[in-house]
Structure 1
Amino acid sequence: MKQVTISNTFMTLMVLDYGATIQKLLLKGKDGSYTNVVVGYNHPSRYLLDENILGASVGRYAGRISKGGFDLDREKFFLHQQEGVHLHGGKEGFHQKFWNIEEVNTKENPHVKLSYKSKHLEEGYPGNLTVNVTYRLMSNALQIVYEGVTDRSTVVNLTNHSYFKLDSNPYIDDCELQLNCPYLLETKENLLPTGDIIPVRKTELDFLLSKEIGVKRLDTVFIKDTGSEKVGELHSNLSGISMKVYSNQPAVVVYTPPDFPGICFENQNYPDAPNQPDFPNSILRPGEIYNNISIFKFDIEQ
């Protein structure tokens, strides 16, 4: 397993080739000390046994797909499923693959670029798909860019699965969360979308104004305000660290796991879009370029 480290004045990023995984993101404080703002393992080999997809790149389709597959151009494609749900790319998604390290730049706006080639019918998906991810440090922000091209029409939905944790608390309940997301996708008990879109205002999932996350665990598809790139903001009163999230994607899955502290902002298309004609298009055709851009910008109170 290979590990790459890049740094600038404000941050240090450690990336693994396995799963194109963010292992550590160290934020420099006012006193010169560093805070790791993502959940991860110290030893890279631990990721081979990880079931939480810590910091990894998820694909070929992040989120859930129903019906054991999807129809595309009058052809049915069958996907791996458990209890009627296909999740995060299948039995062995992109987060369980070794990616190639293509570029490492340690100078101005340092970045590392990794790539993976997914063969036709890998996990049941059509087309030879080539994807890459670029992690770039831009002052006090981390930019993540996913791109993809295919030789045959397919469906694509990539995301990063980092769990952010801004302080040393053994829980995340006291962190304040604000989401620029006026709607969410209604889901069934198995978390597959019903197809309905629900306003969040005056519900327990209303984070339009900043409030504590609380004890309720989230695994929710929020729909971003179409008029803004900003997804939302996370703030810790304990550490004074804030993180603003930006994305060019229509939705974000906000996930707070039940068994350890952390919060995911999975910027992506809607789950099950291949089977929901009213959802945003998830089809990538030959000659097109899939593009998913996220920015995580950090600030520390004086």
Structure 2
Amino acid sequence: MFKIQINPQSIVLQSETHQAEIFPFGAILNRFAVQQNGGWRNVIAAFDDENQARSQITNGFRSAKLSPFACRLNESRYVFENTEYVCEKHVLNGHAIHGLMYDADFAIQNHGADEHGAWLELSADYANDNSGYPFSYQLNVKYVLDNKGLQIETRVHNSGSRALPIADGWHPYFTLGGKVDDWALQINAQQMLEFDDNLLPTGNTLPESRFQAAESLHGVELDNSFVLNNQEDVSCILQSDDLILQIHALQNYPYLQIYIPPERDCVAIENLSGAPDCFNNGLGLTVLQADESKQFVARYDLSVK
């Protein structure tokens, strides 16, 4: 039997084998754990609590919801329907990064648990408080825990009266214990986007076949955007000596951004609907008409070897 526990600053979905902790702040997945030797083995680089998340979310954007754009926006500028906008909420090296909703407060819309799973539905309205993105939309995030793992369904609804540009993504950092160098990675991709020196796509793709089978991450450095072969097969497998994490891009996430930070104690594996700077380069860009919606679905399956 599944259960759900609602606390003032977090919600816990739990089964006999898996557990997920979610913050309403940012709709953050703070912990995702599997039962191992009588205890919980968490694989998310977590915050201590919601207060720490609020104060440190822009320090690495751990588990952040990336909306209405993901990764970098070139010089914080873009043109949509013949109008240029400057969108500056968090700027790194001259480029806006990771959108506008990473620090939004989400409200609980629905929750429950039964013999098949536990679920939590959160929503937030973009406050239309940034002159660089003068559009209106609602962001709905649903977490569903079942016997294998966790599914995350995001629905974006254009609640305004005109078209808007949108991309969606997630920014979790996964940790399997020890260092990245002790883990192996497999990716369902044979191409990655070519980046310039500012980590912005050039418009070209490069062949990349290193991770067709499980490949050791010992000494490997990554900050790359992979183009998935398809969304039917497992997108990515990260494994250590005792854990296996499978990541699925089930719906409308054709790109997988992977980043290994200098500390090498975790790896960011980011499902993206659009490429970095897609407001300018159009790679994966979604345009929603007034009252139109789109859904994006990712899934994490976690098991002990």
CA deviation profile, 1:166-214 (whole Å, cap 9, x unmatched): 23x1x1111010001110011111111111111113xxxx211211112
- 1:98-156 deviations in whole A, cap 9, x for unaligned? 11122221323201111111133636113211001111102121101111111232222
**Does the CA-based 8 Å contact 2:192-2:206 persist in structure 1?**
yes
Tell me the distance in 1 between the aligned counterparts of 2:129 and 2:52.
29
1:43 paired residue among 43, 49, 52 = 49
Match of 1:188 in 2: 196
Of the three residues 228, 242, 246, the one matched with 1:224 is 228
Structure 1: state its 5+ residue gaps. none
Q: CA deviation at 1:215?
A: 2.2
Give the aligned partner of residue 183 of structure 2.
175
Moved more, 188-197 or 51-60: 51-60
Out of 241, 244, 247, the residue aligned to residue 242 of structure 1 is 244
Q: Does residue 1:215 correspond to 2:219, yes or no?
A: yes
Q: Residues of 1 paired with 2:183 and 2:93: CA distance?
A: 34
Counterpart of 1:110?
118
Please state how far the C-alpha of 1:15 moved relative to its aligned partner.
0.9
Quick one: distance in 2 between partners of 1:48 and 1:280?
30
Specify the SS of the correspondent of 1:136.
Answer: strand
Distance (whole Å) between structure 2 residues aligned to residue 61 and residue 76 of structure 1:
16
Look up the match of 1:4.
11
Asked if the contact 1:173–1:214 (Cα under 8 Å) also holds between the matched residues in 2, the reply is yes
CA contact (8 A) 1:63 1:272 kept: yes
Amino acid at match of 1:41: F
- Say whether 1:261 aligns with 2:276: no
Q: Secondary structure at the match of 1:47?
A: helix
The two structures have a TM-score, normalised by structure 1, of: 0.89
Indicate which of 252, 255, 258 corresponds to 1:251.
255
Q: CA deviation at 1:67?
A: 4.4
Q: Are the equivalent residues in 2 in contact too, given 1:273–1:282 (CA < 8 A)? A: no
1:233 equivalent in structure 2: 237
Distance verdict in 2 for CA 1:3–1:174, change over 3 Å: same
Supply the AA of the counterpart residue of 1:13: A
Greater Cα offset, 189-198 or 37-46: 37-46
In 2: Cα distance, 1:270 partner to 1:161 partner = 14
Q: Does 1:158 align with 2:158?
A: no
Deviates more, 1:285-294 or 1:75-84: 75-84
- The total of aligned residue pairs comes to 288
Give 1:82 deviation, angstroms: 4.4
Distance 2:11 2:124 in 1: 17
Which residue of 5, 14, 22 maps to 2:21? 14
